[in-house]
Amino acid sequence: MIEQVDYLVRMIAVGAALMLLALIVANDVRARIKVPLVGMIIGVAGYLMNSTPLMMATTPIDPIIDLVAISTPFWIWLFARRLFEREPERRMLYIAFGLLALGWFIGNFLPSTWPAGFLLLHFTALALIGDLIRVGVFERDDDLVEQRRAIRLWLPLLVGAQAASILIFELFELAAGMEGQLPLISVINSSIILLLILFSGLAVLRTEPELLVDTEADASPTQEEEQELSLSPSETVLHEKLLAAMDAGTYRKPGLTIAVLADHLDTPEHRLRALINQRLGHRNFSAFLNRNRIAEAREKLSSRDDVDLPVLTIAMDLGYNSLPTFNRAFRSETGTNPSEFRRLAIREVDKSGNDEAEKLAGQN
């Protein structure tokens, strides 16, 4: 009897997932957000069908359904990363998906190696869920968009807790030799998934469209445009204090957070968040810092006097904690890496100098 209840709940959840999928496809969601979101929903539906005891009959498409199901943690992780504007490095994408695909291949086509594929899949998925929670919760202070700051609390914790509980429970089943022998737990699991799907549909309907728009870079105003901002008197005073702090090089302080900066400016943190986000147009505090840091980096890299100054020294002087972090920020702002930027900048100076010399020689 309990197996039939589990089957019914799962089919209702699959139907709800398909309705949510139609809702996502019909809405104007950018591709970089839509692709992992669709993959996540299809993966959940695949898991629901793949893990019910009433659908254990072997069919030729079982490996395909299994692949769809095991990809779910990857899509959840990628969706959250992109929603929070923390695009993972391409290397991380390849490693994560490659490990899941390898675990799937071993589990489906090399049965003599059991449970190697099973363990590889589950520990890879747990690592992805752990990274999701790290980015969502522990990097929340950097986020300046208030509604997204709220999402960063419940999305990683709810989805992460549910996915992690499934993975840990399946590992427990394997260790205890009780696979498929706890139908009540299966019903509870499928019921929670159904509730999460319904909750996610409601959240998508009520979420502000800007959160589902993938932004490659901050649409922040230039310094000239900042002078024309329509600010209240209190915002004007705070803006002047902020500009003075940036001119004094406060952005160079390693590990600078918005809480530390607010304390330095003697202003409530929420007021500083509102100014930088709603008035200056930055969605993340790190993007605001990077604009100031990379501006100085470009000057140093273009300077002939600093031509022998190591890129690592420049990065550390500007407050970055590592060279890769500086390189990523620099490439995001300029489209090239620091070394290439320096080479092109110095060459441009030499070329302009030679052109000017030739012009003067011609006049003489």
The model's pLDDT over 17-73, given as tens digits with 9 standing for 90+, comes to: 888 888 888 777 778 888 998 998 899 888 888 766 555 556 677 888 889 989 988
pLDDT value at residue 179: 60
Cα maximum dimension of the chain: 102
Q: How confident is the model at residue 180 (pLDDT cuts 50, 70, 90)?
A: low
Rg of the chain, C-alpha, whole Å? 26
Q: What pLDDT does 213 receive?
A: 54
Structure tokens at 315: 């990065």
pLDDT of amino acid 302: 93
Long-range contacts of the stretch 355-361 (C-beta < 8 A, 24+): none
Name, of 28-32, 175-179, 343-347, 357-361, the range with top average pLDDT.
343-347
**CA–CA distance, 355 with 361 (Å, rounded to integer):** 10
Q: Please choose, from the candidates 88, 211, 84, the residue with its C-alpha nearest in 3D space to the C-alpha of residue 152.
A: 84
- pLDDT tens-place string over residues 114-168: 889 989 998 999 899 889 889 988 899 999 988 888 888 777 777 777 777 777 7
Whole-Å CA distances, 89 to 17, 92, 325, 328, 357 = 29, 5, 11, 9, 45
Q: Which of 154-168, 177-191, 349-363 has the lowest mean pLDDT?
A: 349-363
Whole-number average pLDDT of the chain: 83
Residue 50: which residues within 8 A CB-CB, separation 6 or more? Answer: 62, 65, 66, 68, 69
How far apart are the C-alpha atoms of 218 and 210, rounded to whole Å?
A: 13
Indicate if the pLDDT at residue 238 is higher than 70.
Answer: yes
- Pick the closest to residue 17 from 50, 40, 35 (CA basis): 40
Q: Which residue has the higher pLDDT, 197 or 78?
A: 78
pLDDT at 214 over 80: no
- Who wins on pLDDT, 181 or 158? 158
